[in-house]
Structure 1
Amino acid sequence: MKHLVLAAACLLVPLPALATQIDLSTETCEEFLASDKTEMMLTLAWLDAYYKDVDAPPVIDTDSFVENAGKLGEYCARNPTIGLITATDKLFGE
């Protein structure tokens, strides 16, 4: 019951304004690194799910998530003009 109340309360908290769409196919590493924390976390969560195997269990490994976010941040800092999806394909694609 406490979890349900907490989840409902989170829905009532106003979120910072976000772009109505985040087009990852055109976003560069520089734009990703310049995005606000909320947008960056949404993008990282989406990317984490995108690069999981189809049959992978619905589990978020926070250690792996943080490690991969760090790898992406370092790569993007060194390659600001590269496309974000190009960078993630290079780092996490097969």
Structure 2
Amino acid sequence: MKYAVAAAALFLTVSPALADKWDLSTMTCQQFISQDKSTIGIILSWLDAYYKDEDAPPVIDTEKFVQNAEKLGTYCAANPQIGLITATDTLFGGD
């Protein structure tokens, strides 16, 4: 229930961005870093969850989140034509 309330609050605060659809599999680093701040935040949050282990506890480590966001921003600025998922797989995939 807590998650539903938090998700609803998030969606209410970013309602203008909800009209868009983002296909992260085709988005380049340049397209990612060119987004507005709230869109980048949504994508970073999704990526943070995507790269967690399946059995990881539902905890957001804000220090690690910010470090990973900075790492991705730096990588994408240096490699603007690389696909976003390729970049995140390289940085956070671990496989």
Q: TM-score, normalised by structure 2?
A: 0.82
How far 1:20 sits from its partner (Å)?
2.7
- Corresponding pairs, count: 89
2:29 aligned residue:
29
Distance 1:76 1:12 in 2: 29
1:41 aligned residue:
41
1:64 aligned residue:
64
Distance 1:30 1:13 in 2: 25
How far 1:38 sits from its partner (Å)?
1.1
Structure 2 unmatched runs, 5+: 1-5
Superposed CA deviations along residues 1-54 of structure 1, whole A, max 9, x for unmatched, are xxxxxx6xx465573344431100000000000001111000000000000000
1:91 aligned residue:
91
1:3 aligned residue:
none
Q: TM-score, normalised by structure 1?
A: 0.83
Asked whether the 8 Å contact 2:17–2:39 carries over to 1, the reply is no
3-state SS in 2 of match to 1:56: coil
Looking at CA atoms only, which structure, 1 or 2, has the larger radius of gyration? Answer: 1
2:79 aligned residue:
79
**Aligned alpha-carbon RMSD (Å):** 2.3
Instruction: From the superposition, tell whether residues 19 and 91 of structure 1 become closer, same or farther in structure 2 (CA, over 3 Å).
Output: farther
Asked whether the 8 Å contact 2:24–2:84 carries over to 1, the reply is yes
- Residue identity matched to 1:64: K
- Residue identity matched to 2:58: P
2:55 aligned residue:
55
